Chains A and B, each alone.
Chain A
């Protein structure tokens, strides 16, 4: 029971991180019908920028732990979203009118570019995040000790998801994003500047991805320039699991994938956890090709 609960909370924390990354895939797919293969690398950039800012600004020494890390996370999100906007301008916008496959190839190219750029700047080695950024005392839930960090990661990702959901559902810009995802031409007839909507999506997605990168750095303590590949793949899986283009789907898919992975590595086999995650994906796609929420919540984005 104790092990199950530990694995469940661990899975939820990792799942929250997957969900944040998956949101970036799903939102870009929603408005552009493009899989942004460079998204995993934006996540890596978030992890590295977080590390650089942590060590060079020493914010956490001047401010108390939580405030320092929070401020830092905001800075990282801002910087990564800037890179996201540039990525769209340079790699995707010039190809907007051409065949869809061209943009996909461009996305793969951007991914390779980012990965090599990080390697050139930081070197091809593992980096270690400063430890004890935040007090990591266990919190007792139902008599079982849960690391505080795990709870914070889960809370932070859930907060960001709620904020995003409210933004998309309740605000004027959010409605414009949904309209653009449903029918771009009709959205333009409403006076919506579709280029601006796409820019906003390329601001939000990378910001969430960058934050997720920093969370991985803090949670696991170790980062590397290729980490975006496997996290990107997992988050992409999560987005498809939930129904690509669907925001609640990405959240559900991410959390579910995290839990499945965590439980299967505890009860089946650690070495097989990636394989099990992808087998689950294949099974769900066979039974429900549109993903879990793909049809029921018909709204795409």
Chain B
């Protein structure tokens, strides 16, 4: 297993929001986390990245215990995240944002190569590289957030609601790109509200409900699961 989360508990103040989440991600997979607002999907991703501290349980990545590491060392370990709400550095240019993604990289040649790849994936970013990130459209900012996260050449990419607020056509484009990124060898954990699109893209999925995993399985099984269909796929 590339990523192994065992019995993760997280508290915000006195309120426990994750009550023992366990999930596994194998190398090369796309795994999606589904669930309603407040189910704990984002919290799970934030704990993997070390921005939220766990209260109990373990997060093992590539044989290392992540839950003991500070956030910046988790990036060094090979995990990066395009967080909820994109969080691009609005008053920096697109190119500065992209370069910040490679902050941990010392290898200039490799960084330039990755940057070329990202500009190939998202030609719009190349066109707008001198523009301030805050002036981009929502879709472009999402591309920037994903591109920036890829700049550290992660083994595992965490994506938090990449489709949020985007037009359907753009969602399709972003999901196609995620597929391309995965084919290039990057393992992906995808948090989504758009359950149907996520399950079509992913290999496996987990369904969270108020801080617990209630269902898990192969994506096609979840797609045809009646409970999932009723709750997350509009009952169709």
| Interfacial residues, chain A to chain B (CB-CB below 8 A) | 172, 175-176, 178-179, 182-183, 185-194, 298-300
Contact = CB atoms under 8 A, between A and B. Distances in A.
A188 B71 contact: yes
A189 B51 contact: yes
Interface in B60-118: 70-72, 75-76, 80-81, 83, 87-92, 96, 99-101, 103-104
Nearest to A180: B89
Contacts of A178: 89, 92
B14 to A, nearest CB: 15
B152 interface: yes
Given A175-B96, A188-B51, A182 B90 contact: yes
Interface residues of B, number: 28
B49 interface: yes
A188 B83 contact: no
B72 A182 contact: no
Contacts of B149: 189
Shortest beta-carbon contacts, A-B, top 7? A191-B75, A191-B104, A188-B71, A299-B91, A186-B87, A193-B72, A190-B103
Contact of A185 (B70, B83, B90, B104): B83
A188 B72 contact: yes
B83 A186 contact: yes
Given A186-B87, A189-B75, A172 B51 contact: no
A187 B89 CA distance: 9
Contacts of B148: 190
A215 to B, nearest CB: 32
20 contacts: A175-B92, A175-B103, A176-B100, A182-B89, A182-B92, A185-B87, A186-B83, A187-B100, A189-B75, A189-B80, A189-B149, A190-B101, A190-B104, A190-B152, A191-B103, A191-B104, A298-B90, A298-B91, A298-B134, A299-B91
Given A188-B51, A189-B49, A189-B71, A183 B87 contact: yes
A182 B96 CA distance: 13
A193 B74 CA distance: 11
Nearest to A301: B91
A175 B80 CA distance: 19
Contacts of B96: 175
A298 B90 CA distance: 9
Contacts of B103: 172, 175-176, 190-192
Contacts of B50: 188
B50 to A, nearest CB: 8
Contact of B100 (A185, A190, A193): A190
A188 B195 CA distance: 29
Interface in B116-152: 132, 134, 148-149, 152
Nearest to B77: A191
Nearest to B51: A185
B91 A183 contact: no
B81 A189 contact: yes
